[in-house]
Every structure is written in C-alpha cells, then in structure tokens.
C-alpha cells in the first residue's frame, strides 16, 4: 500500500469588506409594529474577527518558506460553495498527467485546519466516502462542520493499494 499525502488550501467563505457592527433596523418604521430581528454582521462568524488574515501560513501552499510541491496526486475541489455550518466537501483526485485516480479502493483521509487559529492542529479528521458518478468516474464526500468563516486548510492523505 502506498501512502501519498498532499495539501489543499481552500478559502471557506468570502466576506463583504463592508460590515457594520451596529445592527440596522429590518422592520417597518411604524413604532407600533414589531420589527424582524437584526441579522448578525458577517464579522460575527469570522474565525478571527479582530484581525486581518495573514497573506500566507507557514507550511501551507502559497507560503514563501514552502518548497514547491512534488506530489504525485492533485486534489480537485468539486464543491462550488462552502459556508459556515454543515457542508458536503466534494473533491476528486487526478495524477500529474491529469488521469483520474479516484476509485473505490483508494481511501482518502481528510484533516481540516482553521489556519487563523492554529495551522498545525487539525479541527477535525475523517475518512471521505467514495461516490460513484458513473461507470468510469467518481469523487469523494466528507461531511464537515465549519465553525467560522475564514481561511481553512485541508490535508488529504490517499491510500493507494
């Protein structure tokens, strides 16, 4: 069995640059009418609401100190949208020649990291399930709960028989 680790850096949720800390009224202007509750600002769900995200995280792709990857496998993110809360993290695997590697016998472990909090300690770890798309292709699904918006990292380790 060959174990091939590789990293995938995914930005979880883009927040609007203009956020208000004071809730704005959402109901009618008539004081006799009840108003709808104010929604929290996007900053309320941010992993690091007080600071700006760093440009890079040591040890993760994109960092200046990180050597260029020599991985045999490349993860392709299939999920089009990830947000705070429960998510289906969908991805597939290809090799350096763009051939599909994803298969029922290839198991993939996923570790998710809140990079703003601690880029070295995983928040959650799980084994992704394989989903057969058609007779020749498939992808992987991992159910993950993102507790806050921000930059998250996913470390994928494939076990190829």
Reading across the β-sheet that carries 73-77, which strands appear in turn? 2-11, 151-160, 107-114, 124-132, 138-146, 85-95, 73-77
CATH code of domain 2-15+48-160? 2.60.40
80, 85, 105, 61: CA torsion to nearest 10: 70
Say how far apart CA 51 and CA 105 lie, in whole Å. 43
Q: Where do the structural domains in the chain lie, given as residue ranges?
A: 2-15+48-160
pLDDT at 38: 55
pTM, two decimal places:
0.68
Using DSSP's 3-state secondary structure scheme, residue 141 falls into: strand
Residues 53-107 have pLDDT tens digits of 566 777 777 665 544 555 688 899 998 888 999 999 999 999 989 999 999 999 9
| Residues 22-49: tens digit of each pLDDT | 444 455 555 666 655 555 555 566 676 5
Count of positions (residues) in the chain: 161
């Amino acid at each position: 069995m060959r174990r091939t680790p590789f990293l995938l850096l995914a930005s979880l949720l883009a927040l609007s640059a203009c956020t208000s800390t004071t809730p704005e009224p959402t109901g009618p202007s008539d004081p006799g009418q009840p108003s709808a509750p104010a929604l929290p600002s996007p900053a309320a769900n941010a992993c690091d609401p007080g600071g700006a995200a760093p440009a890079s995280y040591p040890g993760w792709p994109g960092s200046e100190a990180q050597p260029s990857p020599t991985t045999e496998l490349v993860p392709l993110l299939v999920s089009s949208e990830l947000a705070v809360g429960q998510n289906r993290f969908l991805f597939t695997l290809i090799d350096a020649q763009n051939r599909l590697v994803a298969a029922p016998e290839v198991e993939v472990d996923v570790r998710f990291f809140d990079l703003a909090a601690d880029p070295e300690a995983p928040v959650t770890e799980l084994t992704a399930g394989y989903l057969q798309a058609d007779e020749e292709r498939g992808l992987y699904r991992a159910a993950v709960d993102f507790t806050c918006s921000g930059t998250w990292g996913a470390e994928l380790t494939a076990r190829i028989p």
